[in-house]
Structure 1
Amino acid sequence: MTMPRIAILCPIPEYEEDWSHIKADYARLFGPETAFIDWTIAEGLADYDLVTPLLAWGYQRNCPRWFALLDRLEAQDIRLSNPARILRWNSDKAYLAELGSLGIACVPTRVTESLDMSSLNAARAEFETDTLVIKPPISGGADGTFRLAHDSAIPALAVGKRTMIQPYLPAIAAEGEYSLFYFNGQFSHSIIKRPAEGDFRVQDQFGGYETHAVAPDDAKEMAVAALAAASHITDTETLAYARVDLVRDEKGQFRLMELELIEPSLFLRFAPDNGIAFAAALMSKA
């Protein structure tokens, strides 16, 4: 049987994070003919049986180009691993409000169009906490993400910008952030990501680290419900891949931090089959 020709959109050459180990993993799963194409160029994609943005890291730094790419892929009817309409929807974390309206327990979130101290004070009053987390609604890798105590100044790069405001949840440091992985709608594996001592960001470039974890039943139930709600909102069918990030609130209830449906790290070394189900799910979309 001939392997489908797969193009994986990847970061620009000067991107600072090392993704070589993930590239090697995907080449192992999809064969040596797998193409890795700079997402900002992304030419000749019609020549492939399937295109996936799994490594399109840094898209949040050039939003106009990213959304133009999605429009082009849709207009050219390029076969994508996850549909363009859900990639577009998932790009802006304002989707949390839509999920919340369907009964998904999300981390409480306010979005302000122009961040200032009055925005922060209103959020502190609403969330009944002094410590907040702010981030751009279109973000990734903790770009532009800050934890602000009651006496913290607004970081200069965030002043006046469209910003998400959330309460800081201490469980992120005490327990960690759960990530659950689904391939073609089937649960694969789960991990806990923890920040370095004194930090709150779980990404490895900030000293964060991850370990295998058994997903609690209520975490699985929430993940399935969140993915179903996303499919309902975007009118999409089962996705090739999805990562669901959850954290407990002060009452111990899981809350959705975000859905990662574009370019999530999949941590396949923790998958019981070393990524076989993931590869099958992706190739089933070709």
Structure 2
Amino acid sequence: MTKPKIAFLACPDTLPGSPSRRPDAFEHDLLLGAIRAGLDGRADLHAIDWRAPMDQLTTYDLAYLGTPWDYTEAKDEFLERLDMLEAAGVIVANPAPVIRWNSDKLYLRDLEQCGAVSIPTLWPQSAGPDDVVAAFDHFDCDRVVVKRRVGAGAIGQDSFTRAAPPPADWRIDQPAMIQPFLPAIQREGEHSFIFVSGQFSHGLIKRAALGDYRIQSLYGGIEVAVDPAPADRQAAEAVMAMLPFAAPPLYARIDMVRLDSGELAVIEAELIEPYLYPLQGAEFGVKMAEGMLGLVG
């Protein structure tokens, strides 16, 4: 019987040997290694640029969105490529409709409307200094965070205070979101809950380096595995249950932060190309392998 072929879609920023490889691309290596170990020879797994020629990509049975971390600068091209793969009979995980919904952070408003505990947010079509100053009064706070609606890894993200507002020439010339800064990010950290095939896999807390608030490894953040408290796990599972899809995605990472009330609020439901922290989940590689093999039959 022919073994299935699985493409681990990546990009020049993450592929080994690339002159533009990012400092945090070791996460690519860890994720790929964990899944390969879990497959244990039952499928052929290859890392390949998501922009590779279609005649190469369509030789695979499954395309897993491993580390295509540059898609945010070419969202339409990326979505079109996923549509083409599915039209050619390649299983895409997560599927193109899931990616399309998740590619604009406006999906957080959908989750809030479904009852998810959320962070108050403004949604300007672009953001300039006046928007930030107005947000201080709107939220009655002294610090805000401004993000791109299409973005990842805190790239293009800024934080401002009333005492140090943005300079006059600062602007995000694309759809943006503004939120009050939550001190729990620095005090406790960001909670991440990893799900595989709809089932909870493992949890961790990501903490920023001293003096920073960004928890990604690119900025010196660290991760600590945790066994989530029952109420915290239930909060993440509630967000999973609100996803507007008939079947659970192969993988999901629900990122949350604690409010002053003690509840966890959703920061992101990461369904596109999240790092899934295999070092913090001893059985993660096996669970992902089983999920992938289940998709290819």
SS in 2 for 1:96: helix
Distance in structure 1 (CA, Å) of the matches to 2:155 and 2:66? 18
Q: Name 1:177's counterpart in structure 2.
A: 190
User: Match of 1:80, SS?
Assistant: strand
SS of 1:285's partner is helix
Are residues 157 and 46 of structure 1, via their aligned partners in 2, closer, same or farther at CA, if it must alter by over 3 Å?
Answer: farther
Q: Take 1:27 and 1:267, find their aligned partners in 2: how far apart are those partners?
A: 15
What do the CA deviations read for 1:115-171 (whole angstroms, capped 9, x no partner)?
123322332222221200011111111111111111321595634432111111000
Relative distance call for 1:144 and 1:275 in structure 2 (3 A) is: same
> Letter of the aligned partner of 1:28 in structure 2?
A
Structure 1 residues 159 and 45, CA gap change in structure 2 (3 angstroms): closer
Q: Name the amino acid aligned to 2:275.
A: S
Aligned to 2:47: 36
Shift in Å, 1:64: 2.8
Matched, 1:267 2:277: yes
Displacement, 1:184? 1.2
2:177 to 157, 164, 170: 164
After superposition, residues 126-165 of structure 1 pair within 5 angstroms as 126-150=138-162, 151-154=164-167, 158-165=171-178
TM-score by length of 1: 0.91
Amino acid at match of 1:216: A
Could you tell me whether the CA contact under 8 Å between 1:184 and 1:238 is conserved in 2? yes
Q: Aligned to 2:73, which of 55, 61, 71? A: 61
Q: Distance in 2 between matches of 1:217 and 1:176?
A: 18
Cα distance change of structure 1 residues 221 and 21 upon mapping to structure 2, 3 Å threshold? closer
Instruction: Write the deviation string for residues 6-52 of structure 1: whole angstroms up to 9, x where unpaired.
Output: 01100224242323333333333334831211012352322212111
Code of the residue aligned with 1:84 in structure 2: it is A
Measured after TM superposition, the shift of residue 194 of structure 1 is: 0.2
Residues 191, 257 of structure 2: 8 Å contact kept: yes
What 5-or-longer segments of structure 1 have no aligned partner? none
Q: Quick one: distance in 1 between partners of 2:140 and 2:202?
A: 35
1:26 corresponding residue in structure 2 = 35
Determine if the alignment matches structure 1 residue 207 to structure 2 residue 220. yes
Instruction: Pick closer, same or farther for the CA change 1:156–1:15 going to 2, 3 Å.
Output: farther
Give the aligned residue type for 1:38: D
> What is the root-mean-square deviation in Å for CA atoms of aligned residues?
2.0
Q: Which amino acid aligns with 1:36?
A: A
Distance 2:276 2:168 in 1: 31
Amino acid at match of 1:39: W
Report the CA distance between 1:262 and its aligned residue.
1.2
State the match for 2:7 in structure 1. Answer: 7
Residue 224 (structure 1) aligns with = 237
| In 1: Cα distance, 2:35 partner to 2:168 partner | 38
| 1:281 to 2:281 alignment | no
Tell me, yes or no, if the aligned pair for 2:38 and 2:287 is still in contact at 8 Å.
Answer: no
SS at match of 1:112: coil
Q: How does 1:65-84 map to 2 (within 5 A)?
A: 65-84=77-96
Task: Tell me: CA distance 1:138–1:45, structure 2 relative to 1, closer, same or farther (3 Å).
Answer: same
Q: Partner residue of 1:192?
A: 205
**Equivalent residues of 2:148, 2:157 under 8 A apart:** yes
Q: Where does residue 268 of structure 2 map in the other structure?
A: 258
In 2, Cα distance between equivalents of 1:152 and 1:21: 39
- Cα gap change, 1:238/1:225 in structure 2, threshold over 3 Å: closer, same or farther? same
- 93, 102, 110: which is aligned to 2:122? 110
The AA in structure 2 aligned to 1:24 is G
Secondary structure of 1:51's counterpart equals: strand
Number of residue equivalences: 283
Counterpart of 2:295 in 1: which secondary structure? coil
Stretches of structure 2 that go unaligned for 5 or more consecutive residues are 13-17
Counterpart residue identity of residue 184, structure 1:
S
Is residue 129–residue 167 contact of structure 1 (8 Å, CA) maintained in 2?
yes
Q: Contact between 1:86 and 1:236, CA under 8 Å: does it hold in 2? A: no
Q: Does 1:50 align with 2:62?
A: yes
| Distance in 1, Cα, partners of 2:177 & 2:208 | 21
The CA deviation string for residues 191-225 of structure 1, in whole angstroms up to 9 with x for no partner, is 00000001000001101000011212222222122
Structure 1, 112-121 or 141-150: larger mean CA deviation:
112-121
Aligned AA for 1:103?
G
